[in-house]
Amino acid sequence: MPSLPMQRPVDVYLSYHKDYLNKKNKIEEEKGLKSMRVSVTKPILILFFILSTITLLRLLKITTSTSSSSHPNLTLPLIPPKTCSSPSPTCTETPAHHDSTAATILAAKEFQLLSKIVSFRAPCNLLVFGFQPQFLILSSLNGGGTTVFLEENPVKIRAFSTNSKSIRIYKVEYSTVAGEAYKLLKQARTDPACTPQQRPLQASTCKLALTKLPWEVYERKWDVVVIDGPRGDSPEAPGRMAAIYTISMMARAGNMTDILVHDVDRMIEKWFSWEFLCDENLVSSKGKFWHFRIKGNLNSTSFCSNSVVQIQ
């Protein structure tokens, strides 16, 4: 059996050294490739991140502009004001301050009540304190009758246009503000000029009487009256005290008048409706509407047959 040739220690060392160098070179080559991949991948990731950020910002901008154009009049939810069971100096809540445009939009059930009454009385004389496009539907229901709007805001008046001879809108001014409601109510109770028998209204010295309305308002006998103006949504804003009082006087000089007062969840509308339109004349309610029906009675010495509201 032939014997294997003997390897010298030097040859073994060289052989191991050669293998070691080969493995080292291979490891270094692999490290170089990895570092090259990292150096190439890193800028790509940075570029991708930048482009993604720009795209996201553009999408946010488009979404924001679309939302704002679709809902230009978004408002915060309204918090209902607290109410007083009866007017007194200790009950000092003020009417809720809210956006007047949003507030004047009637709920479906409220508008249904209005439409039903106007349709039943049509053709009739319809008087509306406050103007909004929604009320034009009432004038169409009152075909053959006369519809008159009394509005304080000149912007709303300028936006109104119609060729109908049976629809008119007048600008009116109010000399009393909502913050004076309690004082005016006390004065009216003791002022002889504010009693139901005082005539004519144009010459009244009662502070609640509207004496500068268009002549047509005094001359006509109104079948249906809607009180949804003036705003009355802050102490400094014109309140509806004078409108409620004036209509109560006109109704007692007429035949039979359906009066609808809106926003009766508020202090002023509630107090003055109790005082001058009277609980005994309340025939229905829907939402924030109270519906009163008053029969003419020029001989009456008081507004209500019994005192509902006590005020000190």
Q: Which of 128, 77, 124, 141 is nearest to 103 (CA)?
A: 77
Q: What does pLDDT average to in each consecutive run of 10 residues of the chain (312 residues)?
A: 52 56 64 55 65 62 40 31 43 41 74 96 97 91 96 90 84 96 96 89 95 96 97 95 97 93 96 96 96 89 72 45
Query: Do strands 289-295 and 256-262 pair parallel, antiparallel, or not at all (unpaired)?
Result: antiparallel
65-102 per-residue burial string, b: 16 or more CB within 10 A, e: under 16:
eeeeeeeeeeeeeeeeeeeeeebeeeeeebbbebebee
Q: Is-contact 172 143, C-beta < 8 A?
A: no
Residues 6+ apart with CB under 8 A from 184: 176, 207, 208, 241
Residues 6+ apart with CB under 8 A from 177: 235, 236, 237, 238, 239
Q: Which of 274, 120, 252, 88 is nearest to 261 (CA)?
A: 274
DSSP secondary structure letters along 264-303: TTSHHHHHHIIIII-GGGEEEEETTEEEEEEE--TT-SSS
Beta bridge partners of 256: 295
Q: How far is 111 from 92, CA to CA, in rounded Å?
A: 31
**pLDDT of res. 81:** 38
Q: How far is 176 from 181, CA to CA, in rounded Å?
A: 8
**pLDDT of res. 16:** 53
Q: How far is 178 from 186, CA to CA, in rounded Å?
A: 14
Q: pTM to 2 decimals?
A: 0.67
